[in-house]
Amino acid sequence: MSARSNAIQQIAGSHREIPAPTTDIDAIFGCDVFSLDVLQKRLPKPVFRTLKATFDKGERLDPAIADTVACAMKDWAISKGATHYTHWFQPMTGLTAEKHDAFLSPAGYGRMINEFSGKMLITGEPDASSFPSGGIRSTFEARGYTAWDPTVPAFVIGTTLHIPTMFYSYSGEALDRKIPLMRSISALSRQALRILRLFGNETATFVRPNVGPEQEYFLVDRRLAALRPDLMLCGRTLLGTAPAKGQELEDHYFGAIPARVMAFMKDVENALFRLGIPAKTRHNEVAPGQFEIAPVFEDANIATDHNMLIMNLLHEIAPKHDFICLLHEKPFAGVNGSGKHNNWSISDSEGNNLLDPGSTPLDNAQFLVFLAAVLRAVHKHSAALRLGTVGAGNDHRLGANEAPPAIISVYLGDMLTDVIDTIVNGVEHKGGRTSMEIGVSTLPPLPVDLSDRNRTSPFAFTGNKFEFRAVGSSQSIAPVNIALNTAMACALDDIATELEAAVREGANLNSALQELLPRLFREHQNVVFNGNGYSSEWPVEAARRGLLNLSNTVDALERYNSPEVMDVFLRQNVLSEREMIARQDILLENYAKSVGIEGAILLDMARTSVLPAALREQAAAADVALKTRDVFGEAETEENRVQLLRSHARALGECLVTLEKSLELLHGASDVHAAARTARDSVLPAMQACREHCDALERMVSTENWPLPSYAEMLWMH
């Protein structure tokens, strides 16, 4: 029996247990988090008040309290079964990193004590030489530092206390994504408070972005995945023909969750609840084998940490249920890929959502100012926003049926578009329906939202927030929120500066707004598009409007060091010039390496699996043709099949030679820019040519001779 047949037999015969109910959420929620409630119980009142001010207001941490906090944190962690601690950080690899140290320290005479000082809490020193730095650090310059982020609570996983930290170089530059994210949050708060002060709000102490990322993923039986080197090493299939049934019937979307998948989901949720992560939604997604989990909105910094934990736990828990979890943006050709819709809003310290239009948005001047700032941010700084969505995986997804195009536009819906039209052109604002009847007598009138949902828009208003749909499922949400926060800070800076100048010169705020808002909406209304972003007419129309279409990662990344992009981050002190150039190099190198790895794996799979299978099938078909001729005369059908198999096998061999030469060009590229272009322009087309013949052969080779699990098996066997 082949390995493939054996795996299928195991899956078919495996026992399906109906999952037990989820553990009592009230009892476990946040139980493994060193939260404010725990702090309040374990710290002296003055120390707690000082630390709470750091949590709530972002005030600078007083080093004098570090030893007290560290001691309380250690005692709590040990009570939870922890034996080690780690400074948990997010380097530019795109993953999380951790180095575990035991609490134990020698105390002389062969004795050991548990020790964890304030110094150990505040800073650590992992070796930075093996992490991407983009030229900021040479290989022989090994020092890198982690610094405690006291605005995010520590937590215990297993026997290790995890302390969220920032990661920076010996010379002080950011080597991670948390530092720029926190800088961008401060920049947004600083500029938004200027607007609030103009409107007479003197009590708000900060403004923060709130984020609710929806995480999509695929589950594949691990016994099948183990037979697919592309899935195991790349996270996506590099070859594979479409199944007879994919997502055409749309019957998987929101369908009943399979029992085995539900057991996995509940295990994930219980792990998340223990870490204080408010997982809210779970459901089947559009493609077979695809699912989604989404938490409640949180502060952007905490939401980013929590999303990284969600991805980690999805990966770790899946094997316990004989799955592997795929977070790649396009694991399977021909069906929907996976994104991470980044729902973004901004609120002040008093809990007011500054993007909530209220019941009469035309009369809500403060909302209109923030709406104008959003349009200005997206229109003027779209190249910077596009950089939050770059990646080799996401290039396979953007512009397809489940993802918006790479052209960044804003969907506002009819009501807000009418509001802007009223302000710009003086067109009478008609308002909209507040309720609707749907012809069912037992239902009361149903409320109507301010806007419909537009799945084709990359940046859609959905009532009191904007949904940035272009982020890839495997990506950290930090880059897109860094870009959003910073672009918004620049737009608010521009608006506040003009309004403050007008008020200083004697104008009242209302008259200044009457002059400013129509001009802003007129200047930026080209970025508003409520239509179908998938239509063939939209790219033409977008070009006429002057909107950028950075259709692939390389085109987007090559704008990273352009003046218009650099100015966004430099102006708000979110990234320095050296940090930006470093990030450009890191991302270009990552793109080239990712494509290079995929090309090498496809080369190996085609030569060691596909071609041998094709040759076995060809020999069997030739044998059948010969025997049939002896008995029945001409066997034209089988002989034609032999010729077709031979033709595709020969063409595949030629394409593999081309792919091999492309990989040699990639590895010999002079710099990261040349390597990325070679990966895009040479390696990827060569891979596609190889795939076409591989897929044609799969459709011809018998099940007995084809060694790789098929799309139908991987997508539907759960």
Give the pLDDT confidence of 304-323 residue by residue, as tens digits.
999 999 999 999 999 999 99
Nearest to 94 by CA among 574, 472, 599, 570: 472
Instruction: Say what percent of the chain tops pLDDT 90.
Output: 69
Q: What is the pLDDT of residue 438?
A: 34
In the predicted structure, residue 439 carries a pLDDT above the cut 70 = no
* Sequence-ordered list of residues with C-beta below 8 angstroms from that of 100, at least 6 positions apart, any chain: 84, 85, 86, 160
Mean pLDDT highest for which of 27-31, 58-62, 168-172, 658-662?
658-662
In this prediction, residues 11-23 reach a mean pLDDT of 60
| Fold that domain 31-176 belongs to in CATH | Ubiquitin-like (UB roll) (3.10.20)
Q: What is residue 534's DSSP assignment?
A: T
Give the pLDDT band of residue 437 (cuts 50, 70, 90): very low
Evaluate whether 544 touches 424 at the Cβ level (below 8 Å).
no
Whose structure tokens read 């973004």? 344
In the predicted structure, residue 566 carries a pLDDT above the cut 70 = yes
Give the pLDDT band of residue 440 (cuts 50, 70, 90): very low
Where are the chain's structural domains?
31-176, 177-212+350-574, 588-716
Q: What is the pLDDT of residue 428?
A: 66
The residue type of 9 is Q
- What does the angle CA 298 – CA 304 – CA 310 come to, to the nearest 5 degrees? 95
Q: What is the pLDDT of residue 17?
A: 55
Evaluate whether 463 touches 344 at the Cβ level (below 8 Å).
no
Query: CA-to-CA distance for 61 and 44, rounded, in angstroms?
Result: 16
Phi-psi region of 250 (alpha: psi -120 to 50; beta: other; left: phi over 0): left
Helix axes 478-504, 300-317, angle to 10 degrees: 170
- What does the angle CA 122 – CA 583 – CA 562 come to, to the nearest 5 degrees? 135
In the predicted structure, residue 146 carries a pLDDT above the cut 50 = yes
Nearest to 396 by CA among 471, 327, 333: 333
* Sequence-ordered list of residues with C-beta below 8 angstroms from that of 262, at least 6 positions apart, any chain: 19
Indicate the burial class of 36 (C-beta count within 10 angstroms; 0-12, 13-18, 19 or more).
middle
Query: CA-to-CA distance for 555 and 395, rounded, in angstroms?
Result: 11
Q: What is the pLDDT of residue 622?
A: 82
Distances (CA, A) of 456 to 251, 409, 580: 21, 10, 30
Query: CA-to-CA distance for 426 and 705, rounded, in angstroms?
Result: 71
The residue type of 655 is C
Helix (H), strand (E) at residue 215: strand 215-221
* Sequence-ordered list of residues with C-beta below 8 angstroms from that of 660, at least 6 positions apart, any chain: 603
The residue type of 114 is N
Q: Which pair of structure tokens corresponds to residue 303?
A: 């939401």
- What does the angle CA 465 – CA 285 – CA 468 come to, to the nearest 5 degrees? 25
Q: What is the pLDDT of residue 129?
A: 76
Give the pLDDT confidence of 189-208 residue by residue, as tens digits.
999 999 999 999 999 999 99
Query: CA-to-CA distance for 212 and 630, rounded, in angstroms?
Result: 69
Give the pLDDT band of residue 500 (cuts 50, 70, 90): very high
- Burial pattern 79-113, b for ≥16 Cβ within 10 A else e, equals ebebebbbbbbbbbebebbbeeeebeeeeeeeeee
Give the pLDDT confidence of 505-528 residue by residue, as tens digits.
999 998 999 999 999 999 999 999
Give the pLDDT confidence of 679-706 residue by residue, as tens digits.
999 999 999 999 999 999 999 999 989 9
Evaluate whether 486 touches 565 at the Cβ level (below 8 Å).
no
* Sequence-ordered list of residues with C-beta below 8 angstroms from that of 138, at least 6 positions apart, any chain: none
Q: What is the pLDDT of residue 543?
A: 94
Q: What Rg value do the Cα atoms of the chain yield, rounded?
A: 28
Question: The sheet that has 323-326: what strands, in order across it?
Answer: 279-284, 290-295, 215-221, 323-326
Query: CA-to-CA distance for 369 and 196, rounded, in angstroms?
Result: 10
End-to-end CA distance of the chain: 22
Query: CA-to-CA distance for 284 and 713, rounded, in angstroms?
Result: 18
E-strand stretches of 352-457: 410-411, 435-436, 446-447
Q: What is the pLDDT of residue 432?
A: 52
CATH assignment, 588-716 = 1.20.120.1560
In the predicted structure, residue 234 carries a pLDDT above the cut 60 = yes
Query: CA-to-CA distance for 77 and 163, rounded, in angstroms?
Result: 11
- Three-state SS for 230? helix
Whose structure tokens read 């290079």? 596
The residue type of 290 is Q
- Three-state SS for 297? coil
> Pairing mode, if any, of strands 459-461 and 466-468?
antiparallel
Beta bridge partners of residue 293, listed in sequence order: 215, 282
Query: CA-to-CA distance for 523 and 518, rounded, in angstroms?
Result: 8
Evaluate whether 211 touches 477 at the Cβ level (below 8 Å).
yes
Nearest to 394 by CA among 601, 324, 386: 386
Q: How many CB atoms lie within 10 A of CB 608?
A: 12
Q: How many CB atoms lie within 10 A of CB 361?
A: 19
In the predicted structure, residue 239 carries a pLDDT above the cut 80 = yes
Q: What is the pLDDT of residue 126?
A: 80
Query: CA-to-CA distance for 512 and 498, rounded, in angstroms?
Result: 9
Give the pLDDT band of residue 444 (cuts 50, 70, 90): very low
Q: What is residue 89's DSSP assignment?
A: B
Assess whether the region 31-176 and the region 588-716 belong to the same CATH fold. no
